[in-house]
Amino acid sequence: MDTVTANTRPDLRVSIGGLELANPVMTASGTFGYAQEFSNLLDLDQLGGIIVKGISLEPRPGNPPPRIVETACGMLNAIGLENVGVDRFIKEKMVWLAKLASPLVVNILGDSVEEYGEIARRLDQVEGISGLEINISCPNVKKGGVAFGTVPTMAAEVTKVVRRVTELPLIVKLSPNVTNIVEMAKAVEGAGADAVSLINTLIGMAIDAKSRRPKLANIIGGLSGPAIKPVALRMVYQVAGSVKIPVIGIGGISCADDAVEFLLAGATAIQVGTANFYEPAVTIQIIQGMEDYLRQQGETSIRDIIGTVRTGAEV
């Protein structure tokens, strides 16, 4: 092993199914707007990748307020996928986004398999888009509202349809609200996904005891933040051990140590979500902290630590 001196810059480059990242740190969809919102507070070009807010075929107004509530070490949200729709996204947001140096991944969502396919088709040739992430946590309206992400055959079908219309690197974002997430990962891998990202939010609820009312207008919402990290880490560990495609770890990552833990569990890259809200430049701190970690561990490349959690009797 090479000796790493304090002056050597460790190699942070990783590859996600054809997506070459300068470092493994990306921003999670829905927590970073369309990136421009953060442009005064951090250098976006230093990010490994940017994943912008989920885009649907038609604009969506989102859910009635209140939409968010803070919980112990986390928050619940029921934003309702408010977004400008794919056409306005291309026309209004891409002009600015295309100028960024970091790879841009667009998160897509739909009510039907056909909608996913149509959005992917419209985004396919747009300049400045480096990849797509499919949000399968949405209800399939045509199949009685069962979430695509909870039935392996439905998740595979969405993946196949999108795969057919684009050659862009394809990430499928998995929902943790399933009995067996490994089964979901295998299903989308078999359907042509280049990578899986996990986890999306855990479904939760908060009630105001005094008024006896739910704290969210939508009654239930998605839990995110440090509170969900152990669940996410476990799922990443299980999935990474069962699929051949790269895994992107998401769930409560708030500092470099958190990010490193996900890599040790088998993730090739990570996404930072809720932490962007309260510490807009946290991703930059995580990138710097990862370099420090590698120096301390005497490693030259971040790739050498992926999946190296010591679970056996190694010394």
Partner 1 sequence: MFSVVKTDIRQIEPYSLVAFFMSEFQENCPIETITRSASDVVCITVLASQIARTACPGQFVMVRVGNGYDPLLRRPFSIHACDQKNNSISLLFKVVGQGTAMLAALAPDDSLDLIGPLGKGFSFGNTPACLVGGGMGIAPLYFLASELAARESTNDHHILLGARNREELAPFVDQFSGLGFAVQTATDDGSLGHHGFVPDLLDAITPFAGTIYTCGPHPMMENVVRKCSQLSLPCQVSLETHMACGLGACLGCTVAGKDGYVHVCKQGPVFPASEVKWTL
Contacting residue, 18, 65, 190, 241, with partner 1 by CB under 8 A: 65
Do residues 76 and 222 lie in contact, with contact meaning Cβ atoms separated by under 8 Å?
yes
Contacting residue, 23, 29, 31, 159, with partner 1 by CB under 8 A: 31
Nearest Cα neighbor of 230 from 275, 184, 265, 256 is 265
Note whether 107 binds partner 1 by CB under 8 A.
no
Which one of 77-85, 130-138, 205-213, 285-293 is the stretch in contact with partner 1 (CB under 8 A)?
A: 77-85
Our CB check for partner 1 shows the closer of 41 and 207 to be 41
Which one of 115-123, 126-134, 221-229, 243-251 is the stretch in contact with partner 1 (CB under 8 A)?
A: 221-229
Contacting residue, 8, 9, 41, 141, with partner 1 by CB under 8 A: 41
Q: How far is the CB of 117 from partner 1 (least distance, A)?
A: 26
Do residues 98 and 127 lie in contact, with contact meaning Cβ atoms separated by under 8 Å?
yes
Q: How far is the CB of 224 from partner 1 (least distance, A)?
A: 10
Q: What is the number of alpha carbons within 13 Å of residue 218 lying toward its C-beta? A: 20
Alpha-carbon distance of 83 to 197, in angstroms, equals 21
Note whether 58 binds partner 1 by CB under 8 A.
no
Q: How far is the CB of 99 from partner 1 (least distance, A)?
A: 11
CA 35 to chain centre: 14
Fill in the amino acid letter for 64: P
Alpha-carbon distance of 88 to 242, in angstroms, equals 39
Note whether 75 binds partner 1 by CB under 8 A.
yes
Count of residues touching partner 1 (by CB under 8 A): 35
Contacting residue, 17, 192, 226, 307, with partner 1 by CB under 8 A: 226
Our CB check for partner 1 shows the closer of 196 and 199 to be 199
Show the beta-strand stretches assigned E in the chain.
14-16, 19-21, 25-27, 49-55, 68-71, 74-77, 104-108, 131-135, 139-140, 146-147, 170-173, 195-198, 202-205, 207-208, 213-214, 220-224, 247-250, 269-272
Contacting residue, 38, 116, 148, 293, with partner 1 by CB under 8 A: 38
Do residues 44 and 35 lie in contact, with contact meaning Cβ atoms separated by under 8 Å?
yes
Residue 138: active-site member: yes
Note whether 66 binds partner 1 by CB under 8 A.
yes
The alpha-helical segments, DSSP class H, found in 61-180 are 86-88, 94-97, 113-124, 152-165
The residues annotated as belonging to the active site are: 138
Residues that bind partner 1 (CB under 8 A): 31-33, 37-38, 40-41, 53, 61-62, 64-70, 72-75, 77, 79, 82, 225-227, 254, 274, 276-281
